[in-house]
Structure 1
Amino acid sequence: MSGGGIGGGTDGIGGTGSTDGTGGIGRRQLAGYALGSVGTGIHSTVPGLLLLYFMTDALGVPAGVAGLVVALPKAWDALFNPTVGAASDREALRTGRRTRILLAGALALPVAFAAMFLSPLTGSGAAAWVAVTFVLASSAFALFQVPYVALPAEMSDRPGERTRIMVWRIVCLTVGILVAGGLAPAVVSLAGDGRRGYAVMGAVVAVLLLATLLVPALGSRRVPARPGPEPLGLRAALRTARGNRAFFALLGAFVLQAAAVAIMLAAAPYTATYWLGGYGLTSVLFVCLVAPSAVAVPLWGRAAARWGRLRCLGAATVLFVLASAALWPAAGTGAARVTATLVLCALLGVAYAALQVLPLSLLPDTVHADAARTGRLQSGAFTGLWTAGETAGLAAGPGLFSLALAAAGFASSTTDHPVAQTATARAGVLLGFSLVPALLMLASLPALRAYGRRRAATPAVVVDSPAGEIS
């Protein structure tokens, strides 16, 4: 990127060279901002996929303790993120930019991430090491992520341009998720598995994080900040949102679905190791889960335009239930179990695309309905609650899976002293990869039906007509 690049000269994000000849933001500037989502996708994926397995099978941390360690930073996020948001707005008011907090996160996160996989200890000492470094990494991630999400509104006043920004960002986020799930387990295997393999993987991912996060952090120097009201804390947001029953029904369904996906993600390396013949299949499982979603997103968009968003979300949920339940017999028996498992994972990826996109498309309806009810458009409060719910679901997934492992008698081990698992423990692994996610998805269907009833009873809410048009 010559001529100053992103964040320098006249080609920085939002700078004087940021147009494409039609008054819009140029592709170089869009790419410079969106590149940060490759990094956020990588960091959001790797711990959920590998950290629990790293602790139980390389560091000898008991499964129940490891689950608490994975859940702890998510609880911290719910408290820390609103604080970072308020600090980012204060910096924007004082300096006219959000750069310093962004840059602090971009520099601190790679170091803390690499440290998570460098524990010199095993057992309880390793649990403490990972807990501290994971909280530090989550805090650094918040320093980057919170102001990063605020930038699109400040890069352009035009809704169409902000949509372009988000499209680029979602594409890069998908790339980051795919890179994380495909590359990280492969690097562990290529580097010799065990603690050494995870240490090498942590260093490689740290370099990728630094490269992808620094570009938008430096580019933010060219974006004049226009801070809005300070973000609300969790308690204040709950007070603001009470009475909006449609929102809480949709949120309840979303949290259950996020927990189901998170459990399956945490169980993937265990299933590859103890049921499919080797840890190396973790990358293949993950790619089969995620890659189809990139293709399916536009297809679900067309289907939603024809049959309605809520109807399509319900269909995707049922598809996820059926495919994940079918993993129990498919992965457990038969010579073709690997092929059958990968095919079912591809179907899950198709359903996962809708579970990502459609709830977010329904969320603004509940916000505008609340504005009609209260006379105030308080999107910040609802977005804060939504993010907190997503965080809770993603934390509950690995936590529930670790408790299931502990209840099934799963024996933790170190690289130097592997432990053979009992049939009951192996069954617990497969349950966490198949039937438990299916049950959680099934439990989200009554909440979706409740959302549909409450949405239909609220005239101000945008609804999908039977013909598929948005009325």
Structure 2
Amino acid sequence: MEEKLTLKEIMSYGAGDFAQNGMFTFISSYLLFFCTDAVGIDLEAAGLILLIGRTADALLSPFIGSVLDRSQTVNGKCKPYIRFFIFPEILLLVLVFAVPELQESVKLLYLGTVYLLFSIAYAIMSVAYFTLLSLMTRREDERLRLNLFKNLGASMGGTLVTASVLKIVERFSPKIKYGFLFAVTGFAFVFMTAGVLCAKNTKERVKAKRTEKLNFIQAFGVTRKSRAWIVLCLIHFSELFFYSMRTQGLIYYCKYYLGRENIGAVLLTMTQIVTKGSVLGRI
């Protein structure tokens, strides 16, 4: 009989998405605003940097999944990646908001390089983390609990970020650049702790059956023929596109049209609270 998951392990798995979604929310909600209003980078150039990073994430994820599928160590498939990449991921998150006071071309080169590296580390961590769920247990009821705590952790991480970052930055006004750096450094320690707990307290129990392995090109050739897979990709793309438009533009709207930048914290947090409430009702 398969070993039952403990509450500690389930909560530790949820802590992983607390960290991952917290970092995603920090970047998706504030990086564009940070680039234009704190660092003074042109909006078009800043938008291009964000596009390159998100594109790299999207293109690399299937390849990372293929590599992960072929990986097998004494510590499992996913946990070694989580243990190793949590530290560079956290460091790169801080460095994204530590843009030096140099010429704009140098700022763009620095930010583009660091954000691209962060996107790669984030993609590796995300694929390993989401795959870990299927390797922790075969039991459907346990997987449901893991998924619920994952969603709860994600919502709590996003809520904490949206509810507090702008308040921290406001205390450093007009030097908001240092406010963002102070905020991201503090959150980095919190996210690192959550990621370490996830890696330390979870266990891979499910051993994959030996089957014929497809290389990346072969796997892509199979999946692209699936209409359901294509529809799912389009839905997910549309969802992320709308989410990015809403979050990236919200602070500008509050600052330049409503005249109150701090309202952005309230509006960004509302969605997170509603999501957390729906998850709590299912636990």
Q: Same fold by TM-score, threshold 0.5 exceeded?
A: yes
- 1:75 to 2:55 alignment: yes
Aligned partners of 1:34 and 1:297: how far apart in 2?
12
Give matches, 1:115-194, under 5 Å: 115-121=95-101, 123-192=104-173, 193-194=175-176
Q: Structure 1 residues 44, 110: closer, same or farther in 2, change over 3 A?
A: same
Give a deviation string over 1:282-323, Cα, whole Å, max 9, x none.
211211233223335689x9xxxxxxxxxxxxxxxxxxxxxx
Counterpart for residue 252 of structure 1: 234
Give matches, 1:406-425, under 5 Å: none
Question: Cα offset for 1:232?
Answer: 6.5
Equivalent in 18, 30, 34 of residue 38 of structure 1: 18
> Whose Rg is larger?
1
Counterpart for residue 191 of structure 2: 209
Contact 1:49 1:265 in 2 (8 A): yes
After superposing the two structures, state which structure 1 stretch, 281-290 or 48-57, moved more.
281-290
| Superposition RMSD in Å | 2.6
Percent of paired sites with the same residue: 19
Counterpart for residue 33 of structure 2: 53
Give matches, 1:364-443, under 5 Å: none
Aligned partners of 1:121 and 1:194: how far apart in 2?
14
Give a deviation string over 1:65-121, Cα, whole Å, max 9, x none.
1101011111112333234334434442x4351332211111111111111111113
Aligned partners of 1:271 and 1:109: how far apart in 2?
30
Question: Cα offset for 1:246?
Answer: 5.0
Aligned partners of 1:183 and 1:232: how far apart in 2?
44
Contact 1:38 1:212 in 2 (8 A): yes
Listed as ranges, the gaps of 5+ residues in structure 2 are none
Q: Which amino acid aligns with 1:29?
A: E
Counterpart for residue 95 of structure 1: 74
Counterpart for residue 6 of structure 1: none
Q: Structure 1 residues 126, 278: closer, same or farther in 2, change over 3 A?
A: farther
Question: Cα offset for 1:146?
Answer: 1.6
- 1:109 to 2:109 alignment: no
Question: Cα offset for 1:260?
Answer: 1.7
Equivalent in 147, 161, 178 of residue 196 of structure 1: 178
Q: Structure 1 residues 240, 132: closer, same or farther in 2, change over 3 A?
A: same
SS in 2 for 1:25: coil
Question: Cα offset for 1:142?
Answer: 2.5
Aligned partners of 2:229 and 2:89: how far apart in 1?
33
Aligned partners of 1:255 and 1:282: how far apart in 2?
24
Aligned length: 276
Give matches, 1:320-335, under 5 Å: none
Q: Structure 1 residues 120, 153: closer, same or farther in 2, change over 3 A?
A: same
Aligned partners of 2:62 and 2:91: how far apart in 1?
23
Equivalent in 241, 244, 250 of residue 262 of structure 1: 244
Contact 2:8 2:201 in 1 (8 A): no
Give a deviation string over 1:135-157, Cα, whole Å, max 9, x none.
12122222322221122222112
Q: Structure 1 residues 241, 131: closer, same or farther in 2, change over 3 A?
A: same
Listed as ranges, the gaps of 5+ residues in structure 1 are 1-18, 302-471
SS in 2 for 1:279: coil
Q: Which amino acid aligns with 2:11?
A: A
After superposing the two structures, state which structure 1 stretch, 82-91 or 59-68, moved more.
82-91
Contact 2:152 2:279 in 1 (8 A): no
Contact 1:101 1:143 in 2 (8 A): yes
Q: Structure 1 residues 201, 149: closer, same or farther in 2, change over 3 A?
A: same
Equivalent in 194, 219, 241 of residue 223 of structure 2: 241
Q: Structure 1 residues 250, 79: closer, same or farther in 2, change over 3 A?
A: closer
Question: Cα offset for 1:274?
Answer: 0.5
Q: Which amino acid aligns with 1:73?
A: G
Q: Structure 1 residues 64, 237: closer, same or farther in 2, change over 3 A?
A: farther
Query: Higher relative CO (CA 8 A, sep ≥ 6), structure 1 or 2?
Result: 2
SS in 1 for 2:262: helix
Give a deviation string over 1:237-274, Cα, whole Å, max 9, x none.
55323454455345434422331221011001111110
SS in 2 for 1:95: coil
Counterpart for residue 84 of structure 1: 64
Contact 1:55 1:127 in 2 (8 A): no
Aligned partners of 1:104 and 1:231: how far apart in 2?
26
Contact 2:159 2:272 in 1 (8 A): yes
After superposing the two structures, state which structure 1 stretch, 241-250 or 61-70, moved more.
241-250
Counterpart for residue 226 of structure 1: 207
Superposition TM-score, scaled by structure 1 size: 0.54
Question: Cα offset for 1:210?
Answer: 0.8
After superposing the two structures, state which structure 1 stretch, 145-154 or 263-272, moved more.
145-154
Aligned partners of 1:232 and 1:65: how far apart in 2?
36
Question: Cα offset for 1:24?
Answer: 3.0
Superposition TM-score, scaled by structure 2 size: 0.87
Contact 1:104 1:144 in 2 (8 A): no
Aligned partners of 1:231 and 1:176: how far apart in 2?
36
